[in-house]
Structures are given as C-alpha cells and as structure tokens.
Structure 1
C-alpha cells in the first residue's frame, strides 16, 4: 500500500464564495483528501491557505521546504501539492529544480471553487494521488496533474483562464484512460540544485515586457531598485524596440544580470535580428533563456543568484538548464 502526503497551499481548490467579496481560500487540506483513493493512504497537512496570486518567493521557498521534509519521510511514497493555478507553473518549476528524490511530486488545483456545483478539484486530487503513488513515475521530478493529463513542470504554462484544461506545454508524461494511468514519456532531468538559502526569499528579479512603444528606462529603474536580474520578455524570437540594447548594456555594466526571453507562449529564444533585435541585445550582455518562459527563467535566476552565483559565472550556470 502506497502512502501519499498531501500538502495544501490554498488556491481555488480550497476557496469558497463570500458573496460580493469574491472567492477566498479557506478550506484545509484535510477537506481535499479523496473519498475513494484505492490501495493508497493519504495524510494531509496545511502549508499555506492563500490564493496563489498573493504568493512571493518566501512562500515558494516555504512550500519547497515542506515538500523536501515530506520526501525525507521513509514512509512516504509520493507527495501531492494542491495549489492555485495562477502561479502553479512557477512553484512546480522550483520544486523540479531542487527535486533530488526519486519519489514523485505532483501538483494540482482547480478552476472552479470548492462550493461550485461542478467543482473539478476532487477529481483532480484523486488523479494526482494516483500519479504520485504510481511506481512508474519515480524519477520523473515534479509534475503537474490537471484534467486527466500529467505533464512535466518544466515548460508548462497556464493557457486558459477558465477552461477545465488549464495547462499546456511541457512534456506529457501520462494521461488518464479507463480509470487508470497510461504512462507515455519520461521528461529529461537536469542537475539538481540545492534547496535555496534564506536569501532566495528576498532576491529581486523583475520581468519587463517588450511591446510597441515600451519604455527601456523601466530597466534602469529596476536596477536602481536593487534588482539582481531582469528578465526581458521580448517579442518573437527575442527582440525589443529602440533603446533596449543600450538599457541592457547599462544594466549588465552595473552587475545586473539580464535574461532575454520571449512573450510568445511557445518556442525558444533565437537571436536573429539586428537594429535593436536579439543580436544587439545579446551583444549588449543579455543571456538568452532558450526554451524557458519569462516566469520560469525568473525562478531559475533567483535560485542561482541566491546560491551565490557570481555574475561572471551566471551565463554558464544558467545554460546548464537549457
């Protein structure tokens, strides 16, 4: 019999409507234990009870430490984390970066509140528990189980604000069929990073988006505010408008890391264009983020910088995870 630890952090799956005040996360994790979970025992405990749009890096760190403690329990075979969908992709990626155990860690949530007549949380939790207890998923890192599909944390994104199938991207690792789990792939694993130190909680990494008429001075402002890194979510394959190459040069010259990502939902950064495009941005010191979206690139940067990675070694360390 497999034993699963369910860690609750809040989100829609734990939320109930409060009239005109909107939905608020209030349910404890014990309320999320599936009524029917087969030959699996489930123990629940709360880490947080909050909407994921309110999380900061200290909260993500707290979740990662709680998962690490659960995995260290020799009686635990896997961990399920219930989480708000708004920022689940960031927490999942952090958990994947520091996941050294072969035991599965599976994140899930809901698109509809716990008091909704068609709440999707119970089914999502049941499926996540099945995935976390499945021996075939050992060694696959942190995963996201949602609406019948289990996918890798890396590359996953929330792709719809309200649809039941909220996530896309990543590698499909398994899916539900006929009441059972069909395993289809194993995601590539990268070198495991140590659990972040306390500095992770306050390290400042900003995201700035390129668009017609965007203000490059925002990057200067981010540096003045003490940002250790800035992720530039460029257009297309990694481009930005007038003034950004100069802003990148000023930022990197001051010791601030600049990562070049893309606001496009899919596809890698491929510096191609001059006249302020990716060729000029990288020449000015920006580090391409490869296939990492801006928000997962931000998490990786925060982990590396809080661990003491020096600016001159940052590019090499970052590219290990591309």
Structure 2
C-alpha cells in the first residue's frame, strides 16, 4: 500500500511539473462589433482652411475615411461603416427617417452586431435621435453623434465625439437606456437632447441634465431615462410605411393666424403651436385654432421656450377646445411624436396620453 501511495504522489508531482512548464495562453475576450451608419453632416464636412470652423461644406467625407482617421477605434471594437446618406441634416425628410430607422433596426437584429452609431448633422440630430428612440425595438445601444466643426478645422470635435460614440455603442452598460446622443463628452438621452447654440462645441444639452459622461474610453452614468422608449414603445419602425403631415407654426407678438390655415390647407393632420411662454395662444388666434380643430386637424400646444413644460388647461382651456399639450417636448420633438401618434389613433385623449408617457 505504501508503495502505491508513493507511486501516486510521484506521478502527481511529475504531472504538476509538466503543467508548470507548459505555457498558458491567456483568453482574450472577443471585441464587440459596432456598425457606423453615416448620414453626412458637419462631422463629414470640410473647410477651405484649418481656420474655417464655421464656414465649410457639410457631408463631404465618406464613412470609410472617418473610420480610418481614428485608428484607436480598433482598440474598442470591430468597426465597420455604411453610407446611408451624404446630406446636410436640414435636408432630412420623413422618407429618410423611415429608411434610416429600418436599416438601424435590421442591423441590430443581426446576432453579431452589438451596437450602432449614427453619424448625423447637428441641425436635426435631436429629431432623428427621438424618432429612433420611439421606433426601434432593440435594447442594444444606438448612439447618434455629430460635430460642430468640420474635421479640417483646428480643434475639430468630430474625432473624439465619434470615438466616444463607439465606446458607448460597444459598452454593455449602455444597453436598455434608449437612444443616446454623444457630444462634447456628454451622454444625453435622445429624447431630451436639444441643440441650444449653433457655434460652440458644447452645443447640445438637456434641461434635465446629461445621463453621464465618456472619459478616456469609459462611460460614467449618473441617471437613467424614465419615459417609454425602444423596447417598451408602441411604435415599431418595422411596420411603418409613411408618416402623416405635421407642421409647426411659430408663436410671436402680432403673429398671423393665417399661418394655421395655410398649414391645414397644405394637408397637415396636426399643427404644433410653438407658443410663447406656457404655449400661450394670442386671443386673436383662438377662434382660428378652434375652427381648425373642428375641421379635424389636431392642435398641440408646445412652447418656443427652451426649458420648462406646457401645463394643460393653463392659459387655455385645452379640455374644452379638445387640444393637446406637448408637455416638455420642444416643437420639433413634438412634431415627431405627433406624426407617430397619428399612425395609431385620431383620439385627442390617446394623443395626450402619448405625450405624457413618451
């Protein structure tokens, strides 16, 4: 028995020694895959000289060159690009919104894709990000990114913005938080983000604050969205084929009520009143809006003020007039939600529910 024990122990020692001499290859985690869908904008722009930070041509640089210009992306993810459009974002249409949304949705359904980045001009970036937030049913990260200066300018911001966007899209911590906007180190909700200045690199913000920041390849989170989005949304990009017409009429002193009639005559199914203050409607325009609503066109009171929210039945008796309030959504975001809502219902009560929930 003692000989057997000694023999077994000797064999174990020999096996351990052999294992110690065998090099162990560390297992490298597979990098996530991120697809960059490019649509143009300033982030793909070029100026005549490096001193041109505000005067330039947008939508000139293709997506493959944007990616090649940031070799550090290879340390973050397996990145590939697609050129959806090459336009300045003020030229986005409903048709392009639908096309982009369907492509993003299809990409996120691919098992090998972990996240999508959309490069976008800043003029309508907030509208596209809100549209995607409402319609794409995926919990994988969707990050919309732009820049305020072309890549040819001194202190161009696009390179770092795009890098941060890929970091976010590759991060498991970004899953389930809805569509995100990555600008100037900030992580903003696609619902809340708004362009608040047209010159500075810190152009985007939210009255409710950023969700977090990206600093040196790391996302730091401080809050999360509470409104319905993506997986919990009742709107589905894969079933949408068109969007009804919605128009915005901007409020001011001595405004012309004829603008409402023009929008209705042009086929608008809803009019966003971008009112002063609390979405206020001047006394001389009330009868026009009541008549338009009686004719079947929805009236939605928003505000031209950047912050705050419109209070229902304050300033105007919305219940009595069968109007809707946009809550805290600015006019351009209210337009997006109204168009989607009208694909589901024509009920004022249902429209108002959607403005509370989204």
Stretches of structure 1 that go unaligned for 5 or more consecutive residues are none
The counterpart of 2:253, out of the listed 212, 222, 237, is 212
Residue pair 1:30, 1:44 contacting (<8 A) in 2 also: yes
Superimposed CA distance per residue, residues 218-262 of structure 1 (whole angstroms, 9 cap, x where no aligned partner): 111211111111000111112121322212211110110110000
Counterpart of 1:153 in structure 2 is 190
Counterpart of 1:184 in structure 2 is 222
Residue pair 1:99, 1:141 contacting (<8 A) in 2 also: no
Counterpart of 1:17 in structure 2 is 47
The higher radius of gyration belongs to 2
51-60 or 113-122: bigger deviation: 113-122
The counterpart of 2:64, out of the listed 30, 36, 39, is 30
Q: CA RMSD in A?
A: 2.0
Counterpart of 1:194 in structure 2 is 236
> Structure 1-normalised TM-score?
0.92
Superimposed CA distance per residue, residues 250-281 of structure 1 (whole angstroms, 9 cap, x where no aligned partner): 111011011000000001101465xxxx3245
Alpha-carbon separation, structure 1, partners of 2:340 and 2:124: 17
Alignment of 1:101 with 2:131, yes or no, is no
Alpha-carbon separation, structure 1, partners of 2:285 and 2:241: 32
Identify, as 1 or 2, the structure richer in strand.
1
The counterpart of 1:309, out of the listed 328, 342, 345, is 345
> Structure 2-normalised TM-score?
0.83
Alpha-carbon separation, structure 2, partners of 1:172 and 1:114: 25
Residue pair 2:341, 2:351 contacting (<8 A) in 1 also: no
Identify, as 1 or 2, the structure richer in helix.
2
Residue pair 1:246, 1:284 contacting (<8 A) in 2 also: no
Alignment of 1:140 with 2:177, yes or no, is yes
Partner SS, residue 33 of structure 2 = strand
CA displacement at 1:24 relative to structure 2: 3.4
Partner SS, residue 199 of structure 1 = coil
Alpha-carbon separation, structure 2, partners of 1:112 and 1:199: 33
Partner SS, residue 205 of structure 2 = strand
